[in-house]
A and B are shown apart, each in its own frame.
Chain A
Amino acid sequence: MSENSSVQPSLQKRRFPFRLYFEPRLEEPPRWYPVAVSLGAILFALIIGGILIKLAGGDPIRSYIHIAEASFGSVGVLSDTIVKATPILLTSLACSIAFRMRLWNIGAEGQFIMGAFGASAIVLTPVLPANTPAWIFIPVMILAGMLAGALWGLIPGLLKAFFNVNEIISSLMMNYIAIAWVNFWVFAVWTEGGFQMTRQFPKNAWLPRLLDYAKAIPLFRGLTTHLGLVLGIVAAVILWFIIYRSRWGYEIRLIGDNPRAAQYAGINITRNVVLVMMLSGALAGLGGMSEVTGVVHRLQTSPVAAGYGFTGIIVAWLAKLNPLVAILVSILFGALILAGREIQPSGVPKMIQGVILVCLIASDFLLRYRIRVVRTGEES
């Protein structure tokens, strides 16, 4: 954009024989195009990752094979991948529905922790006696977890709806309150012999795992995949129907895209802000419940508050806020987390994760713009 380029380009010598032009797309690209772009972005990221591995003195091809094996290579590791993916899936669903309405709920982490707390309270208070059968225990815990999460979403929702308080700040702050709150109960009230954890839940308060059925089906031996996966997938399917096929979902999409048009169509925005924040919180809360009853089996801040609520934000975006796509992206993320630990506790795998993310997010540009290559000779 220098003076001479604008005034007398003919005198300027061009070093490159080609020029790139970016033009906004004026029509919708075909359906396969976004998929191809995403795959291309991942491939591109893997090539960069390969260079990184090479620079670090490793063998890229062998490392990649190792990563694939470490996350999908056998039924066992696949199961571990899925266990990692389950909480991410539920928090990403929580974020998708809120983001759909352009409600920036950054509080999925806190709602997740509160969900874990709500479910644990059923066992630890105790609301139900320890010998309650699983078929009563689990549904009650699911409800408690979702309610606690919904409550945590309701507070920033009400603040936003009635006082126009920025939900990004309020929901983010609610995360810290949730962690402190749960720490209080874990450290003081429900502590097991002074440790920073509660006692283990009775077996009938655990979500059923595949290994529970190993006697009938030997293949399931040692597989820790739990009912939370089913909860997540059912939630994703229901959410898809809500967003794309229900009247409420239509209102959510309309408010998200153009609030003034929604108002003009007679839609009550205030009520929807509150409801969507509650639904978002309930989904994250369900994730917390699933994690505490399916994996940890006790309430403890460190493995529960592992940042799933924040990973959910990224996954929701990568899935373009589509709940069904979120299932696939969550599994990919579960694999990345698991395989990363397999190769190196920190460092290169995290870098590759980062590169993949940046490439995927950057590839969005290609969906909105067209690139035209022009030979400089042709211009004049």
Chain B
Amino acid sequence: MNFDLSEEQRLLQSTAGQWFSDRFAPADMRRLLADDGQCVDRAALADMGFLGMLVDPAHGGGGLSVLDLAVVAEQAGRVLAPVPLVSTSAEAVVLLRGIGGRHAEALLQSIAAGRELVTLVDGVFADGDTVSGTSRPALGADEATVYLLLIGEANRRSLAQVRRGPDASPVSQPALDPTRAMARVRLEHARIAPLGSGGAVDSALARARCVAMSVLAAEDLGAAARCLELAVAYGGERVAFGRPVGSYQAIKHLCVDMFVLVEQLRSLVWFAAWAADHDPEQLPMAAAAAKGYAADAFERCAEACIQVHGGIGFTWEHDAHLFWRRAKVDRLLYGDAAAHRDVVAEAALATVS
């Protein structure tokens, strides 16, 4: 047994950490909140190979593992980087790989090369070969160039692609966390190109969601760990009643509670990513455990970070609320913590019946 990252993964961790922190800072989110700027430089991301990490080398990708992607995602999460690792690098890629076929492979090539940003959109119904209506909010939809439309309900689902354009465009809505490019997509007689249908879509979708949840939990891990670092740093600097506030147990113990959450989350994230690579049977439980725990752990760390900072902690200028915004959105993606706890309970009870 060896439950640790490999030498190569440690190297990837430090390379990615450096790259993200050179290019992004939580403060970018504040700018996005003000002026709706473009978040993603997808050419740079593609150059680093981050968009196509899970794409087959035959299609221009890295052929890397989900754990490798999780290692990168943790580093992106630390600086709240506005990058589509969850929606494109994880979910869309795994879904397209699961569907297979000429059109899916062409899209995978475009993703790896940084030509297209692809995101999955759910909650629309087809009428022949066109689609009209408004989708459910989708991660990355505000930035995507190609939408993968999930049409219909379980067992009778089909997947189709539609290019962003006048007949398929994101609906503008004030963002809670603008780095997530969250938007509903409005479709007006948009002509769709089918990619697959039936059971193949369901099984590919199930795996894609689990991988996306694992990678999202990895981003949350990085962000929660950063909240802890900010709180600890401030606890050591800020003086009250003649001593640093971090010397008071009320503050110190709050920070240790964060530490325990972060370390437990790290174990669950690694396990979920490992299961995605090596143990498909355990993946649904492992991914739900990681995502469900991440929802609570990151939210609690973000709120504790604000609390430790006192007055400055809830100002617009301080970064603490940027982590909090991310936490408040992420906790609800792919189902909230209650939904994931229920999935885990079902799997756990099945082991004793």
A and B interact physically: no
Give the A-binding residues of B (Cβ under 8 A): none
